[in-house]
Amino acid sequence: MDDGLMFMGREVRRYTTLASTNDTATALSADPRNAEGLAVVADVQEAGRGQRGRQWQSEPGANLLVSYLLRPTFLRADMQYDLSRSVALAVQATVQGSVGTSKHSVQIKWPNDILIDGRKVAGILIETGMRGTHLSHAVCGIGLNVNQIAFDDVPNATSLGLTSGARLDVDVVFHALSRHLEANYLLLRQGRTDLLRSRYDDCLFRKGTPISVIIDGIRTTMVPLRTLSDGRLVSLMPDGQERTFMLHEVEWVLGEGVSDR
């Protein structure tokens, strides 16, 4: 099949069951013969994880569980959040294209969860290796809920199928994701970080509008405004002052009794 891809997802290693697609892709990164863009896909992850070591729940065969091997040796370590932006934007575009643009809002909850109408549909976990001042490799793990309709103990989750009301072909979603990821990665390789940063900030969840959060154990509100080059979030606080947050410093209150870091 000629899907227009140059390298992203052109080579795929498919597994019925894996402990973790990220772990397998990381092991494959040690062999230079494994080219950039290789994708590791599994129907089931027995030890899949999200940010901060949380387990990623997924019904067997219902969703897209994939890790891409990249070799962004052109990217300095202090710019690695731009890689995170490029991946988050690719997932956002894939989700938006799957559910339509007119009825549903698809946004990026800082730093890199993807939400449909405020409900989580995808998570991203990027693990990198270093050589001197630059990245040597990156493994970009993506868990995207495609056809799952029930989520145990995850009250704020949704899927493409639940949102669209139709069952989707997981392979079609994978190829769409690969196309968007390749396009954004090429922008990153070309040094077009200003464009990626602008697009990312435009997609920020609740940008310019107040949202309830928990900071230092205290519930308050803030208005997300933009991100800095290193990925820190700038928000307007109730006292009228702007405050900058590092990762893990904000717990979002997404609904009554529902919070997420």
pLDDT in tens, 152-206: 777 789 999 999 999 999 999 999 999 999 999 999 999 999 999 999 999 999 9
What pLDDT, on a 0 to 100 scale, did the predictor assign at position 1?
A: 46
Tokens coding 100: 């339509």
Q: In what order do the strands lie in the sheet with 251-255?
A: 242-245, 233-236, 218-227, 211-215, 251-255, 258-260
What pLDDT, on a 0 to 100 scale, did the predictor assign at position 57?
A: 65
The whole-chain average pLDDT of the chain stands at 92
Q: At the fourth CATH level, which superfamily is domain 12-202? A: Bira Bifunctional Protein; Domain 2 (3.30.930.10)
3 vs 39: CA distance, rounded Å: 15
* pTM value > 0.75: yes
Cα 21 from chain centroid?
A: 15
- Cα–Cα nearest to 66, from 29, 14, 102: 14
Cα dist from 46 to 59, 144, 190, whole Å? 11, 16, 37
What pLDDT, on a 0 to 100 scale, did the predictor assign at position 230?
A: 96
Q: In what order do the strands lie in the sheet with 134-144?
A: 12-18, 39-45, 64-70, 134-144, 119-131, 113-116, 106-109
Tokens coding 209: 């509008």
**CATH architecture, domain defined by 211-260:** Roll (2.30)
Tokens coding 182: 């390749």
227 vs 22: CA distance, rounded Å: 27
Where do the structural domains in the chain lie, given as residue ranges?
12-202, 211-260
Average pLDDT on 62-91 reads: 97
Pairing of strands 251-255, 242-245: unpaired
Residues 37 and 70: beta-carbon distance below 8 Å = yes
Q: Which residues of 188-200 are buried (b: 16+ CB within 10 A; e: fewer)?
A: beeeebeebbebb
Average pLDDT on 19-23 reads: 95
204 vs 29: CA distance, rounded Å: 31
More confident: 151 or 137: 137
83 vs 178: CA distance, rounded Å: 15
What pLDDT, on a 0 to 100 scale, did the predictor assign at position 258?
A: 57
Average pLDDT on 77-106 reads: 94
233 vs 111: CA distance, rounded Å: 8
Neighbours of 104 (CB within 10 A): 16
Tell me: pLDDT of 64 over 90: yes
